[in-house]
Amino acid sequence: MIIKEIKAKSILSKSGIYGIDYSINPYNGCAHGCTYCYARFVFIHKNIDPRDWGKIVFVKINAPELLRREIRNAKRA
C-alpha cells in the first residue's frame, strides 16, 4: 500500500442521496481495490492508472482547514 499526502482543493461534495446534503471525502483511493467499485474511475480523471486502484491512497492533509471553510460556505440543498 502506497500512501501519498496531498493538499486538496475541496473536501465536501454534494450528495445525491435523499436527505443528505453533502459527503466528506478525506482521501482518494482505498486499500480494498474492489473490481466492481465505481470510484476507481476517479483515478482515470486524475490521469492515474485505474489498475493501481487498491494500491494507492491519497490522503488530504489539509482536510480540517478545508472542512472548516467549506462548512461555513455550504448551503443546504
pLDDT of 77 reads 53
Q: Which helix (H) or strand (E) holds 63?
A: helix 63-73
pLDDT of 10 reads 92
Mean confidence (pLDDT) of the chain: 86
Q: How far apart are CA 74 and CA 72, in angstroms?
A: 6
pLDDT band at 45 (very low <50, low <70, confident <90, very high): confident
pLDDT of 68 reads 93
